[in-house]
Each structure stands twice: as C-alpha cells, then as structure tokens.
Chains A and B, each alone.
Chain A
Amino acid sequence: MKWLSLILVSLFAATAAAQPAVARLSTAGASDLAAGQRIFDSQCAWCHGAGGTGGTGPDLRRSSLRHAATDDALVNIVRGGIPGTEMPGFAIALTERMAWQTAAYVKSIGRTKPVALPGNAQRGANVYDSSGCGSCHTVNGVGGISGPELTTIGALRGAPYLRESIVRPAAAHPTGYLVVRTTTKSGEEIRGVRVNEDVFWIHVRDAGGNVHALEKSQLAKVERQLDASLMPSYESRLAASDLDDLVAYLTTLRGAQ
C-alpha cells in the first residue's frame, strides 16, 4: 500500500499545483447556479447559445464533455480555454469563484434532458449525398476541398448554427473562409476564399479549388465580401424535413469517439 499512497500523494500534489482545490461542482447552491448562468449568458452564450444549446460552439447539454472528464478539468477549461481549439480562456475576466460558478452551471446544463432533434440522421446522410454536399466538403477522408471539413463538425458546432449555415451560409461563414473578389489591372476577376494574405500578396482559392497567388501591386481592386459565402443557400433546395434530417446527420459527425 505504501507505493499506492505515494502515488496518491503525488497525484494530489500535481493537482494542487495546477489548480487550487475547488469544491465539487455538485455542491453549488441555487445562488451559485444563478450567478453562473448570468456569467454564461453574458460571456459564453455568444458561442454556446443561451442555455448551452450550441452555436459556433458545441452543444453543452451532454452528461459528459469530452475535454472535461472531471470537475477540475471543467473549471480549468473555463479559466484557461482549450489550447488548439476555438475555446478561449476567461482567467482575465473571471475570478476563481466566478469560474467555478460558471462551471457548475455548465454541469447543470449537462443534467438537463436534451430536446430530441426533429430530423432523422440516417435519412440525413442520404440528403447529404443526394444534395452534392460532398463535392465541396469532406467527411472521413472522402469529399471535396472548397468548404470546411465536416468529419467532426457535430462535436464543434451546435445544431442551430449548422441549420443557419445551410440556410444562410453567408451569415454564418466560418473563420478562414472570407470571400474576396480581386480584379487585376487588365480587368480579370478572381473570386474565392482568401487562404492567406500579407501586406503585399493575397492567395485566393477559387470555387474550382485552384489557388491563385496574386501580387497586390498588380491588382486594381481587392474586395472583401464580409457577408458572402461561396456556398449557395439550400433553403429553397431542400424540403423542411430534408433540412431537419441533414442537420440531424451533421450533429452525429463527431470523429473518432
């Protein structure tokens, strides 16, 4: 038992160094949860949606969150973010107690019963194929390159955002998919997604997947279309039930579990 207790002591020490000991999130009272909800509505709902229903950030109405296996991990994510993802840290904005209250509220969201989505994911997979989504998007290694890869999109984005991005792609274009239209001095136009830009060069991938390296001194105009997307709206192309099914399918795309 001696070696076991040594391990336990060192584990405890490592945890203590990384994060001051916090009470279990389940001990949070009604006032803590109310405070956490206020913080969540102000700081987190921008991405996760009011009530954690998801948006550009994941739906949090899940009993287990893949980056937050423990209470401490959840508090640490609120404070420090998740490196390598879009989730920023809030250590500057929130005191330790506020972060703990926010985490407690997030955990309480996970205990709520998720409202079942209206669509059928299996039928949605067929809608995905028959609508030609795969000509621009890739899932599990198969598909086109013009649009964002969707292999894990269900883990990254909430259903309301996924629906919006199908119905109004221009209003929901993701970071890194800014549409630009460039015009050379001789009048040639190239429209596509800006894949890179510095002070003197701009690189544009057109709808056909070709990358154009353009020197700005040779361009007459660079137009940044903040409200545009290369993806057409599918609002009128899909029946309402097809749209429900497609959204349901996309939410199941969570990569390797």
Chain B
Amino acid sequence: MKSILNACGAAALAVVAAAVVVAQNRDGEWPMYSGSYRAERFSPLKEITPSNVSRLRPVWVYQPPGTGSLETTPVVVNGMMYVTAGPTMVQALDLRSGKSIWEWTRPIAPSVLNLGFPRVNRGVAVLDNTIYVGTLDGYLVALDARAGIERWSAHVGENPLGHSITAAPLVVDNKVIVGVSGGEAGIRGFLDAYDAKSGKQQWRFYTVPSPGEPGSESWPGDSWVHGGGATWLTGAYDPQLKLLYWGTGNPGPDWNGDSRKGDNLYTSSLVAIDVDTGKARWHFQFTPHDVHDWDANQIPVLVDAEINGRPRQVVVQANRNAFFYVLDRRTGEYLLGAPYAKQTWAKGLDEKGRPILVPDMDPSEKGTLVYPSLQGSTNWASPSYSPLTGYLYVPVREMGSIYFKTPAEYKPGTSYTGGSEKRLDEESWGAVRAIDVRTGKKVWDFELPSPPWAGVLSTAGGLVFGGSNEGNFYALDASTGKPLWQFQTGGAIRSGPMSFAVGGRQHVAVAGGHALFVFALE
C-alpha cells in the first residue's frame, strides 16, 4: 500500500486513502474492469517510466478461439488473468506464460439478439474464488475461479426483447451489480444486484420510473414502457457513502422524441444508487429529452480535488454530449461544466448544468448536421484519471453527423430508434485529451488519425497508455502528452489497457484486433 499512498500524495484527503485500501490494486493486481471502485483506470505501479519506456517489449500474446475484435479489459487477481471474448467466453491465463488454464464458453445461437452493438464481452468481476460474467443472451453467470466450472446463473433480462449483457459486472460487498444493453430495442432499463453466493436477486433499480413514481411526470402516456435508459457499462462505487454511480443510456426511441415529450428521466443521466437498498439517492441528467443517442454510460470517475477553491469529493464525467461535468458525489450538486470537444447543439450550460439549447438541432427527415456524431465526443472507451497530475485523460472523437428522423414503431425484439445518421467520416479525427478536472480546461492533446475506440490507462510511473483504430499501442508522458513509445498490434484497438505486476515486474496489457498483448521492460 505504501506506493499507493505515496502516489496519492500528502495533500489528498483521508477518505481517499480509505477508499483506496478497500478498492485499489493489491500487490500489483488489477481486481476489476476499471482497476478500482473509483474507476480511475490508474495503476500505482511505477517501474515503467518516461525514461525507460523505450525498452518496453511484448512478452507474450494470447489469441482466443473465434474471430472479431476483443473489447476486454483483463482482470488480474490471485496470480491469474481472466479475459473475455465475444460472444461470451472466459479464459483464465497464467500470468507468466500466457497459457490457458481453463476456458468457459457459453453457447450463443446466431438468433441471440444484439441490437445496436457488436457481439462482444468487456470483462469479468471477481470475488474470492468466483468469477462473474454477463452473457450476450442476458444472464449473469458465476464460475469457479480455479476451474471455470459454473456455480449458478441468474436470468437478468429477456434477450428476445433485446436485453443483453456485454459489460463487466461490479462486485460490492457480497453483491454482484450488473447492467443491461438494449437501448435501441425499446427496453425499460434497469440495474440489478445479485447475491454473490446464491445468485438470488437483491434489488432492481429501474432507470425509467413507472407512473406515480418520482420522475414519471417526464414521460407522457405509456411512453415510459419502452423508455430505454440501458445500463450497458460498468459504474463506480464509493464505499464511504455506500453509493454506486451508474450512467444510463438514451431514451427510446433514440432519434424521434415525438412520443416522449418531456425530460425522460432518468435517461442520459448519472444515478447515485444506495448499494444496500437499490434506491436512487440523487440523479443528474446531462441531456434532458435526448434525441441524438447520447447515452451517459461513459465511465464516471471518483476524484478528490479542489474545485472552485474548495476541497471536494466529486464524480467527473466526460459525457458523450461533448461536455465535461464535475458533480458533488454526495449530493449530485453541479459544480463545474465545460465543453471539451466540438459541439454545435448547446450554447452552454446554465447554473444547474442544464444545457441551453441551440434551436433546430433535432434530427429531421431531410437530415440535420450536428456535432458531435451519434457515437459522441467520447463513448465506452475508458478515460483515466491520474491523482498525480489531476488530469482526466479522455479518448476524444471529433466528428459530426447528419441526423435523420423516421417514424418509430415498437415491435418486440426489433430496433426502436426512429432515425439514423450519416457520419462525416473523412474530416473526422481523434485525440487523447488531458483535461484538468479542477478547471475543466484542456491541457494537451495527442492527436489520432481517426476517432478512437481505445481506452486510456495512466500510471504512477508518469505515463499514459492509449490505442488507435490503426493498431498503435503507445505511451505518452502524462504531464505533456509527448509520445515516448509505440507498438503496432496489427488490429484496431477497441479495449482498455491495464497494468499488473508478476515476479516483481510491471506489465502492461491491451487487446488489439483479436489478440491480447502483454508487455514488460526488456
């Protein structure tokens, strides 16, 4: 723990250290999807530094059976690595040799629906001797970590209606928290908690309230029934406050809001949920009445920093809608917000953080040009926060789209979107962008030829690792963004890098194409 405490620095609040003890990397492990409950995707390991990173070399490569891009972030605990591949497969790998110890595959028929996203899996959660994985056909499965034998499975959502799971679950105390995809299929989104030992459901939080519940006034008629609000990425957790922070997806239908006039709570929002009761303590809606498919599922990151001259415990998010937000994580109070990428839909944010809309930016039959594109200024690719620099490193997508509106008609198990887009591909570009969370201002950009799908990792060694659609895996100086090292993986990187230690050596891993690459200093 010493290195972690050093990493956080003397100025950090006492609560930081307490949270780190519960949730941070233990002895070079990477115990969960985002690295820690704070979802910083920050490694306290510091063997690899700007001065020696030029000696980073691949030590092994793993290629699972099958095809398609790997979107997994490996989890490393108890001397083993657990990686996933699509549609639903888990591999336990030996850390030193990269050889498979066991493999678990769920049979997924071609008829299993994945409406609006690829047939991928992004990772597992671990508690003691059990691995938890969500399945494309809508189940949560518990596996024995030693041999990959199934212990239980829970039916989370109805795949024939469009529910599916690609996100890594999150383990908190004795609960497994898992969200669902399906925002393009007219689902009513929810977040579930299951007992880690038995698989029995503990609670369900619906992201769209039913009539009479708070927020239901934002849905006319029965529009709430297919209101969307999927929970398709992994959230963060504050053990002191016992609060989960989970982003919610677009309302349904995506691009045609005619049938759902109103704010459409709690879609395109961040919801803080009491982990014991499954009840929301607060919510913040980034994009009220979203008609551009700007899900707010991007990873929320828990940060302790001085905001507006005062030390605060906050949750920050670079949102798909092109604005960066800082919220008090106890109350949800809006503290700071600023655009971090090109956008043409809002004049700015008001004093409560609500967007001030530019007129006539809704999708239309003839098409409406809006920045950012449907995929947003950032998407599911993880950001990273370094407590050493105070910067949030965001994979940024600079792209516009022409948004179309079409009639929407709900039919179970089909797309319920009400439109489409035509992307402006040729002029688009990307970046890893460092944003100072204390000000919301950009510090530096590392430019990429195209809008990335790769996540970002920062380390106590002073490095930022990122990827590109063009296959590059690279290391940047965390303070300046200067490139220091790169490796061509030969396939698009659509995954989040992570770091672990084995045998006293720091390693960095990333999936590129259909292979997992593991690096260490030569």
Contacts and interface: CB of A to CB of B under 8 A. Distances in A.
Determine which residue in B116, B184, B365 has the highest number of CB atoms from chain A within 10 A of its CB, and name it. B365
A43 B404 contact: yes
Contact of A199 (B116, B365, B470): B470
A206 to B, nearest CB: 20
12 contacts: A38-B365, A42-B365, A42-B404, A43-B406, A92-B116, A94-B406, A96-B414, A98-B406, A98-B407, A198-B468, A199-B472, A200-B486
Interface in B314-342: none
A96 B416 CA distance: 11
Interface in B348-366: 365-366
Contacts of B448: 199
B367 A42 contact: yes
Nearest to B116: A92
A96 B184 CA distance: 15
Contacts of A197: 449, 470
Given A98-B407, A199-B468, A199-B472, A93 B427 contact: no
* Interface pairs A-B: 5 shortest CB-CB: A93-B420, A198-B470, A199-B472, A95-B409, A92-B415
Interface in A91-123: 91-98
A178 B468 contact: no
Nearest to B184: A92
B366 to A, nearest CB: 7
Given A42-B367, A43-B420, A198-B449, A95 B414 contact: yes
A93 B415 contact: yes
B154 to A, nearest CB: 29
A91 B409 CA distance: 13
Given A92-B415, A199-B448, A199-B472, 18 more contacts: A42-B365, A42-B366, A42-B367, A43-B404, A90-B420, A91-B415, A92-B115, A92-B184, A93-B406, A94-B406, A96-B411, A98-B406, A175-B426, A178-B426, A198-B468, A199-B449, A200-B474, A226-B426
Contact of B406 (A39, A46, A178, A199): A39
Interface of B: 115-116, 184, 365-367, 404, 406-409, 411, 414-415, 417, 419-420, 422, 426-427, 448-449, 468, 470-472, 474, 483, 486, 488
Contacts of B409: 95, 97
Contacts, number: 61
A92 B449 contact: no
Contacts of A43: 404, 406, 420
Determine which residue in B406, B422, B470, B474 has the highest number of CB atoms from chain A within 10 A of its CB, and name it. B406
B130 to A, nearest CB: 36
A171 B123 CA distance: 45
B234 to A, nearest CB: 24
Contact of A93 (B419, B449, B470, B471): B419
Contact of B471 (A38, A39, A91, A198): A198
B116 A198 contact: no
Interface of A: 38-39, 42-43, 46, 90-98, 175, 178, 197-200, 226
Interface SS of B by simple majority: loop
Contacts of B115: 92
Contacts of B404: 42-43, 93
A46 B422 contact: yes
A93 B407 contact: no
Determine which residue in B422, B449, B468, B483 has the highest number of CB atoms from chain A within 10 A of its CB, and name it. B449
Contacts of A97: 409
B164 to A, nearest CB: 15
Nearest to B366: A42
Contacts of B472: 198-200
Determine which residue in A39, A175, A197, A200 has the highest number of CB atoms from chain B within 10 A of its CB, and name it. A200
A113 B316 CA distance: 60
Contacts of B415: 91-93, 95
Contacts of A200: 472, 474, 483, 486
A46 B448 CA distance: 28
A198 B488 contact: yes
Nearest to A199: B472
B406 to A, nearest CB: 6
Nearest to B486: A200
A94 B407 CA distance: 8
A43 B365 CA distance: 9
Contacts of B470: 197-199
A188 to B, nearest CB: 22
Contacts of A39: 406
A180 B404 CA distance: 32
Nearest to B426: A226
B362 to A, nearest CB: 15
